[in-house]
Structure 1
Amino acid sequence: MSDWSLAIDFGTCFTTAAVRVEQSGPESGGATGGATGGAMGGAAAVEIENSRYLPSLVCLGDDGRLLTGRAAVQLAAQRPERAEHHPKRALLRQSAVLLDDREVETVDLAAAVLARVAAEARARFGGTDPARRVLTHPADWSPADLDRLVEAAGRAGLDAPDLLPEPVAAARFHAANTPAGDLGPIAVYDLGGGTVDTAVLRREGDGFRAVAVAGDPDFGGRDLDQALFELLRERALDLDPVPWQRLQADRTPVGAHQRSQLSREVTLAKESLSSTGTVYLAVPGYPEPFVVQGGEYRAAVTPALTASVGLLERTVARAGLTPAELGAVVLCGAASRTPPVADLVAARLGRIPEPTADPKAAVALGALTDPPAPVLPAGAAAGEAGSAVGGGRWAVAHYPAEVDPWFDHD
């Protein structure tokens, strides 16, 4: 069987992966059958449980095993004290977490997610191991953070992985899907489930190098969910506070399940507002669903999104550039589809951002995309394409404690 490569984008809320067959020829014809949507030699996203997006949530099972995917999501709805919703954050923040009455190393939480992805990918290639393993990571992670990620990979059976900054992977994906010849720097705005990261990259002989990076570890797609949740909460309390307070106070398994279900419905409604103007949300205890208009939601999230786009603007300035000098502005991360994002980027930078068909999978796919060949401007000497302005790594910011949206109000 042909050699194949695996890339994993371990995310705060969701994890994505891609595979690529590294050899072509008649003998490798069966190797691509399990890779979804890719031709021989091209990167293809991996589907797990019929989705490209595996929840990063990990839950402690009754038998002591760490569960992932649907099994973890289902059990977490019933036994929230056994769940770690954001193992990527936990990996940076602490060495262990308490799941129910058991202390679990955060490296093992990350390893459980990585091992699930690796097992699904191996199954598509007859159980063989990947010849190359790539893990993406935020550009501003410290060496100690990267060491923990590598340790988790080792425990997941993915020894000696290559490490690639997420914005570099996003830039590779963009370069492979746009016309050749663009020499301009690329700005990347990555709005994921739990964080927003920005970067400016320049082309070099071996691909791209980040010359300025910045991120906000306290803002991401979950905050957009929270904004919609608050609209719903205010509407419910105005109509009749008793059912909402009863739902909030119910500590039984039924109450936990109802709150978890409503949180999932809020997330789905937020995603629907990217393409529709109205959503309906049913809340236990209320006879009729609540209606939320797209304009209300946009008004609620615009201030925070404006601040995040301002971070991108400052990152461009830190790179010593003006927006006009950029070759492209690339949006990635699932939450970048939120309607105000593209409009705000265009307004603040004067540049229309480049559309991406699947902004969440772009990083994993880009990690297995060959770097663009160096292109020198007319009259340039060899080696000049790699020159960069600005530079220097920004110190990594660690994450504060999580806040449960159901219990942060009196």
Structure 2
Amino acid sequence: MLLQLTEPSAAHPKSDMLDEIAIGIDLGTTYSLVGYVKNGRPYIIPVEGEETRLPSAVSWRHDMMHVGTVALTHLLDTPQHVFTSVKRLMGKGMEQDVAMRHIPESDKILKLDERSFSPVEISDEILKVLKNKAESHLGQMVEKVVITVPAYFDEIARFATRKAATLAGLEVLRIVNEPTAAVLAYGLDEKPEGFYAVYDLGGGTFDFSVLKLTRGVFQVLGTGGDVALGGDDVDHALANLLIHERQSLFPKESVTAAFYKTVCHQARFMKEQLSLHEQVAIRLEGDEGSSDHTITRDILIRLITPMIERTCSLCADVLSSVDVPSQKLQGIVLVGGSTRLPVIREMLEEHFGCPLFSDVSPDEAVVSGAALQAYALTAGRKDSALLIDVTPLSLGLETMGGIVERIIERNSPIPISKAQVFTTYQ
């Protein structure tokens, strides 16, 4: 048996691609972005007016798919027809997603009327919009893309992401881990040699990677994370608090899946505003009437602290696995919209005690790195930073008795190939 992990960098003759523009896409849980390299620098393409972030939301209405902000507006009247956070379901069934278990059962089914939709199909719709926006901006067809995924995505989830891109009419040049893309965007190869880390807390996933910089070469030593931990969990915690307060006013009111989804949308708004203000007030409208709610930053801190402690525990596991104490870190790159919250930065500074890098917008770091990688692959740049990545999970084969024989260990540098002989059993 032969297991092989490679990067398809040599599969495309560069002479055929000199006039082509390849794009980079960050297919996010909450927002998705698209960019390319313009005059040697990454440029993020506006997708809705001047806004560069496309909400990763899709609605089915009047026999048509709607994507982005317009899909979110449908939460007001037909929330049961709006799909959000489908990235958490890529490559797996709904029943496997631990993070979705607290959501009402009727809200877990990607099915409307007589039609059903897979996470791949929903992601395809988001990617089509990003592709069309890029083509309109560039004035030419776009067929090639570098797309990012959480470092802890398994091969099934990565295949599902690639399939969604193919359905959208895009040829995937490379699947890049999100922390790896962020490193490319920050240009850390110009920093002093030593150990660095990437703390990536997005809407639905968390990744932590440790890297070593030596003579301009970055090697990913180890990576870890949780594909069911992110800003969405804060939204649900806030939503549950709001519903609890409301039920004390209207104890007979039933919480439908549609109403819960609307409250989650309001909770996300409050969370984002609390990064700027000490308190935020909203009004909820339901079957029994309206209710006013005020959430302070202190309440948010109380709700978010267990999640941050969980991420710090995962960080410690990764650092321990690669035998790098936190005291040796030269700095930590912050990635993901959730890292905008002041409480998260304060807790990380206290926990690690090293510089936090946030020069590049946490929302745009990943897509900027993807765009740089797309440019390097198509334009044939020789001065691109060399970054050696790893496989985040062990790969093996199930043998007799349900025992898994590991062939490629987690955190093995890629590309890698290993061969092992097995005999059949009768």
Measured against the shorter chain, the TM-score band is 0.7 to 0.9
CA deviation digits over 1:255-289, x for unaligned, max 9? x4x65554333211111111211111212366773
The answer to whether structure 1 residue 224 and structure 2 residue 234 are counterparts is yes
The answer to whether structure 1 residue 117 and structure 2 residue 137 are counterparts is no
Q: CA deviation at 1:205?
A: 7.4
Taking the TM superposition and a 5 Å limit, the aligned residue runs for 1:127-166 are 127-129=140-142, 132-166=144-178
CA deviation digits over 1:153-206, x for unaligned, max 9? 111111243221111111112226xx9242122211111111211111233678
Is the Cα contact below 8 Å between 1:227 and 1:297 reproduced in 2?
Answer: no
CA deviation digits over 1:296-352, x for unaligned, max 9? 221221122112122112212222201122222111111111222112212222223
The answer to whether structure 1 residue 236 and structure 2 residue 258 are counterparts is no
Q: Give the structure with the higher percent strand.
A: 2
Taking the TM superposition and a 5 Å limit, the aligned residue runs for 1:8-19 are 8-19=25-36
The answer to whether structure 1 residue 298 and structure 2 residue 301 are counterparts is yes
Is the Cα contact below 8 Å between 2:196 and 2:211 reproduced in 1?
Answer: yes
Kindly tell me: are residues 229 and 354 of structure 1, through their superposed partners in 2, closer, same or farther at Cα, counting changes over 3 Å? Answer: same
Larger deviation, residues 111-120 vs 221-230: 221-230
**Number of aligned pairs?**
354
Identity in percent = 23
The answer to whether structure 1 residue 323 and structure 2 residue 326 are counterparts is yes
CA distance in structure 2 between the partners assigned to 1:368 and 1:374 by the alignment: 12
Larger deviation, residues 336-345 vs 205-214: 205-214
User: 1 or 2 for the larger relative contact order (CA 8 Å, sep ≥6)?
Assistant: 2
User: Where does residue 378 of structure 1 map in the other structure?
Assistant: none
CA distance in structure 1 between the partners assigned to 2:371 and 2:388 by the alignment: 25
Q: CA deviation at 1:373?
A: 6.0
CA distance in structure 2 between the partners assigned to 1:192 and 1:369 by the alignment: 21
Is the Cα contact below 8 Å between 1:59 and 1:82 reproduced in 2?
Answer: yes
Is the Cα contact below 8 Å between 1:185 and 1:325 reproduced in 2?
Answer: yes
Q: Equivalent residue of 2:255, what SS?
A: helix
The answer to whether structure 1 residue 337 and structure 2 residue 340 are counterparts is yes
Is the Cα contact below 8 Å between 1:43 and 1:369 reproduced in 2?
Answer: yes
Residue from 105, 119, 125 that aligns with 1:106: 119
User: Where does residue 25 of structure 1 map in the other structure?
Assistant: none
CA distance in structure 2 between the partners assigned to 1:137 and 1:357 by the alignment: 19
User: Where does residue 194 of structure 2 map in the other structure?
Assistant: 184
The answer to whether structure 1 residue 246 and structure 2 residue 253 are counterparts is yes
Is the Cα contact below 8 Å between 2:152 and 2:227 reproduced in 1?
Answer: no
CA distance in structure 1 between the partners assigned to 2:387 and 2:150 by the alignment: 22
Q: Equivalent residue of 1:369, what SS?
A: helix
Residue from 352, 359, 371 that aligns with 1:349: 352
The answer to whether structure 1 residue 172 and structure 2 residue 172 are counterparts is no
CA deviation digits over 1:89-109, x for unaligned, max 9? 232114994233212343222
CA distance in structure 2 between the partners assigned to 1:236 and 1:143 by the alignment: 43
Kindly tell me: are residues 386 and 44 of structure 1, through their superposed partners in 2, closer, same or farther at Cα, counting changes over 3 Å? Answer: closer
Kindly tell me: are residues 272 and 76 of structure 1, through their superposed partners in 2, closer, same or farther at Cα, counting changes over 3 Å? Answer: closer
Kindly tell me: are residues 311 and 280 of structure 1, through their superposed partners in 2, closer, same or farther at Cα, counting changes over 3 Å? Answer: same
Q: Equivalent residue of 2:211, what SS?
A: strand
- Structure 1's unaligned 5+ residue stretches are 22-39, 376-384, 397-410
After TM superposition, the score normalised by the length of structure 2 is: 0.74
CA deviation digits over 1:78-120, x for unaligned, max 9? 3344333233223211499423321234322221111110000
- Structure 2's unaligned 5+ residue stretches are 1-17, 95-108, 377-381, 396-426
CA distance in structure 2 between the partners assigned to 1:196 and 1:282 by the alignment: 31
Q: CA deviation at 1:125?
A: 1.1
CA distance in structure 1 between the partners assigned to 2:62 and 2:216 by the alignment: 49
CA distance in structure 2 between the partners assigned to 1:160 and 1:4 by the alignment: 13
Taking the TM superposition and a 5 Å limit, the aligned residue runs for 1:55-66 are 55-63=55-63, 65-66=64-65
Kindly tell me: are residues 84 and 293 of structure 1, through their superposed partners in 2, closer, same or farther at Cα, counting changes over 3 Å? Answer: closer
Is the Cα contact below 8 Å between 1:205 and 1:386 reproduced in 2?
Answer: no
Task: Give RMSD over aligned pairs.
Answer: 3.1
Q: Letter of the 2:269 partner, please give it.
A: L
Q: Letter of the 1:361 partner, please give it.
A: E
Q: CA deviation at 1:395?
A: 5.1
